[in-house]
Structure 1
Amino acid sequence: MGKQRSSGTHLDPSFASDNVAGVSPSILTALGEANQSAAVPYGGDTTSAQLLEWTKSEFGSQAEIYPVFNGTGANVVALQAMLPRWGAAICSIGAHLNNDEGAAPERLGAIKLLPRPASEGKLTSADIEAELGAMGFVHAAQPLAVTVTQSTEVGTLYSLEELATVAATAHRHGMGVHIDGARLSNAAAALGVGIGELVAHSGADVVSLGGTKNGALAAEAVVVINPDRVAGMGYIRKYSMQLASKQRFIAAQLLELFSTELWHRNAHHANTQAARLGERLQALEGVHVQAQPSVNAVFPEVPVDMAARIQSTYLAHTWDTAPSGNPVLRLMCSWETTDEQIDDLMSCAAASELVHERG
C-alpha cells in the first residue's frame, strides 16, 4: 500500500513535515534589514548581487543563481531549461517530482518523466542505462536529463561516490544532471561536507537549492553550475511565474541561511533529533525502525493500536504497510524540534505500555 496523507486541523502537526516549522529568528532579522529602504526590483538590488557573489564563491565562477518561491517551481524551471521539447528526465518512481508536485512538470513544464523503481529511492547507473533504448527512436521521448533527490523522499542518502557515478554515466550518454535539493542541507550535514563540496563531488549541472524546509520562508533557488547545460533560464523563470518583483526578500533569506553556518546548525539539529526519535521508538516493544535515520525522517513500523494512538493526537502520515500488516509511519523532525516534543510523542506512543506497567 502506498502512502496515505493524514488530515485534521485538530491534530498536532509537529512531526508531519519539516514544513511545519517556523522561520529561523536570524532570517526574520535579515528580512527586516532588507525592508529598510527602497530597492531595484526583479533582482537588480544589492542583496541579490551579494547572493550571486556567494554563489560564485561556493559553486565556481561560472555559477548562476535564480531565486524562486518554492521547490516545485525550482524543479520545473530547472528541467525546462535543461531539456528540449522532445526531451525527458529520468527520476526515481518515488521522487517528489513524480508524486508530489501535482503534475506540474507535465502540465506546466511539458516535461516527460521516466520514473524508475529505484531501491531505497536512489537511482543507479543501471537505471540510466535501462532507458538508453529510446535514444534515437523517433517514437519515444529522448532521455536527456537525470534528476536525483538528495536526500531522498524515503530519508536515504546518496554517498558522494554514488552521486558521482550516476552523473558520470549520465554525462557519458549526453544527459544533464539535476539535483532536487529541497533537503540538500540535511544531506550535507549528514555527510559532513559543505554545500559546495557536495555539489562539486556530485557532478550536477543544475541544483534546486532548498531553504524553506530548513528555516526560511518561501525561499528556494535554481543554481546553475554548468551554464552550457541550460538555455533561457531567466525567461523560463519569468513565464513560469517564479520571478519575484521584490526579489531582495528571497535573496536576503538565502544569503543569511547559506553564507553563514545557519544552514548547518538547523540541518544538524533536525538530523540529530530524528536519530534520537528513532532510537527511542526502536526501544518500544513491537516497533521496528528499518534503518537508523540518515537525515531528519523516521519511518517506524508500529503496531496498529500504537499507530491509532499516535494518529489520534498527531498529524502523522501512514507511509506504507509492512509485510506484517502493520503501518509504517513517516515522522519528520525540523530545525526547531525540541526534546520536549519528542518526549510527548513517546508518551503517546507508549501509553498502553505505561498503563500495563502501572497496573
Structure 2
Amino acid sequence: MPDSPNKPPYDPAFASDNVAGVSQEILEALSVNASGPAAPYGDDTVSAELTEVMRSHFGPRAEVLPVFNGTGANVISLQAASPRWGAVICTRSAHIHHDEGGAPEKVGGLKLLARPTDLLTPADITAELHHQGFVHAAQPTVVTLTQATEQGAVYPLEQVAAVAETAHAAGLAVHMDGSRLANAAVALDVDLGTAVRDVGVDVLSLGATKNGALGAEAVVVLEPDRVPGVDYIRKGSMQLASKQRFLSAQLLGMFGTDLWRRNAEAANRQARRLAAGLDACPGVRTVREPQVNAVFVEVFDEVAAAIRSRYICHTWEHSPDGHQVLRLMCSFETTDEQIDDLLDRARSAQLTDIAEI
C-alpha cells in the first residue's frame, strides 16, 4: 500500500503557503508577552499599541479587531457591511464562494451574488444593480474583492478604485479579502495604505498566518460609518479571544515592523524562480507569469507524477487539451534546495509524448 500523502517521504512544501512554520520574530513577540497579567478581551496594552500601528497604515479612524482565522474575518466583515436584507457581490472564484464551507451563508446569513469572472470590474457591479428596490430580489449592499486572488492575480490599484467608486455611488460598501495582501502589495510595490485605504476599501480582512504568523488575522475597519457593530458581531461569531494580547502580539510583530514585506518578498521571489525553472522543463508550460507566490503550470501526467513522487501539489484544473494544471505555492520558508529538487524531478519524467505542451 502506498504511503499516505500526509506522511513522509511526501513533502507539503508546495501544497500551500499555510504549510510554512512561524517567523522567529513572531515567536519572539509572543515570548515577550507570554508572562504576567494583562487585561482580557482586547483591553490590554499590546492591543492598544496594535491599534496605533494599524492607524499608521490605514488612517486615523481605523479600528482593528484581531480574530482567529480568515474565514472569521471575512464573515464578520461582510455581516457588518451588509444589513439583513443585503447581498454580497463577489467573483465566481472568490474564497468566500468556494472555500469556506458555506460559512458566509450558514453563519453569516449572507446571499452571495457570484459574477462569472475572476476579477471584478465596475461593469460587474452595475450588472447586479438592476434589481435595486425590487422587493423580490436580494439587494446588493457590499462588494468584496480578493487581493491577491486564488488564481494568483493582483488587482491593479486603478481597478480597485474604479470598483469602489461605482459601489459607493450606488450606496454599497467595499470589502477586501486580504489573506495575501502582503504578497499583492509587494507585487504592486506599494505600502499597505496605498493598496487599501487610498483605493476606497471600507473594511479589510487582513491576513498574517500565511505570511509567517502562528495563527492570527484581523478585521480592519477603515470607514466605521459604513461598517458598524463589528465588535458585537465578532463576539457573537465566537471570534473574540479572551487572551487577545497573543493575537495582537503576532499582528504587531508582523505589521509593526517590515516583516510583512520581507516575508512576502521572499515568497514572491521563490515563486518566480520556480516558474522560470519549470518553464524550461520538457512537458511543462507556465500558465501565466506569477505575480505573487502562486505558480500555475500545465503539465503532462508523467511530469505531475514525477513531482508527486516527493511533493504534495494540487491539480487546480485541466487545460482544454486535458492536461493537469498544477498549483504550486511558495512561502517565506521555501528554499532553493526544495525548488532545485522539484525541478530535478520534473526534468526526470519519462515522457511518452515529446510534443510541445
TM normalised by structure 1 equals: 0.95
Q: Give the partner amino acid of 2:311.
A: Y
Deviation at 1:311, TM superposition (A): 2.3
Identity %: 60
1:258 maps to which residue? 255
2:108 maps to which residue? 109
Richer in helix (by share): 1
SS in 1 for 2:308: helix
State yes or no: 1:285 paired with 2:282.
yes
CA deviation vs aligned residue, 1:323-347 (integer Å, no higher than 9, x gap): 1111000000001100001011111
CA deviation vs aligned residue, 1:53-98 (integer Å, no higher than 9, x gap): 1111221111100000000000000000011100000001001000
Pick aligned residue for 1:164 from 161, 164, 185: 161
Q: Hey, what's the Cα distance between the residues in 2 that align with 1:140 and 1:353?
A: 56
SS in 2 for 1:227: coil
Are the counterparts in 2 of residues 18 and 334 from structure 1 also a CA contact under 8 Å? yes
1:4 maps to which residue? none
Q: Give the partner amino acid of 1:60.
A: G
Of 150-159 and 311-320, the range deviating more from structure 2: 311-320
Q: Hey, what's the Cα distance between the residues in 2 that align with 1:241 and 1:85?
A: 19
Q: Hey, what's the Cα distance between the residues in 2 that align with 1:321 and 1:207?
A: 32
Deviation at 1:199, TM superposition (A): 0.9
Are the counterparts in 1 of residues 111 and 138 from structure 2 also a CA contact under 8 Å? yes
Pick aligned residue for 1:223 from 200, 210, 220: 220
Deviation at 1:31, TM superposition (A): 0.3
State yes or no: 1:317 paired with 2:314.
yes
Deviation at 1:124, TM superposition (A): 0.6
Q: Hey, what's the Cα distance between the residues in 2 that align with 1:272 and 1:79?
A: 32
CA deviation vs aligned residue, 1:241-262 (integer Å, no higher than 9, x gap): 1000000000001011011110
CA deviation vs aligned residue, 1:251-293 (integer Å, no higher than 9, x gap): 0010110111100000000000000000000011221112110
Q: Give the partner amino acid of 2:26.
A: I
2:354 maps to which residue? none
SS in 2 for 1:349: helix
Q: Give the partner amino acid of 2:230.
A: M
1:52 maps to which residue? 51
Q: Hey, what's the Cα distance between the residues in 1 that align with 2:336 and 2:108?
A: 42
Q: What are the ranges of 5 or more consecutive residues in structure 2 without an aligned counterpart? A: 352-357
TM normalised by structure 2 equals: 0.95
1:304 maps to which residue? 301
Q: Hey, what's the Cα distance between the residues in 2 that align with 1:346 and 1:227?
A: 49
Are the counterparts in 1 of residues 57 and 193 from structure 2 also a CA contact under 8 Å? yes
Q: Hey, what's the Cα distance between the residues in 2 that align with 1:152 and 1:201?
A: 19
Deviation at 1:201, TM superposition (A): 2.6
State yes or no: 1:37 paired with 2:36.
yes
Are the counterparts in 1 of residues 317 and 325 from structure 2 also a CA contact under 8 Å? yes
Shift >3 Å, 4+ stretches: none
Q: What are the ranges of 5 or more consecutive residues in structure 1 without an aligned counterpart? A: 1-6, 355-359
Are the counterparts in 2 of residues 163 and 201 from structure 1 also a CA contact under 8 Å? no
State how many pairs are aligned: 346
Q: Give the partner amino acid of 2:100.
A: E
2:208 maps to which residue? 211
Pick aligned residue for 2:244 from 235, 244, 247: 247
CA deviation vs aligned residue, 1:27-63 (integer Å, no higher than 9, x gap): 0000000112110000010000000111112211111
Q: Hey, what's the Cα distance between the residues in 2 that align with 1:245 and 1:343?
A: 44
Deviation at 1:353, TM superposition (A): 5.9
2:333 maps to which residue? 336
Deviation at 1:9, TM superposition (A): 1.1
Are the counterparts in 1 of residues 216 and 247 from structure 2 also a CA contact under 8 Å? yes
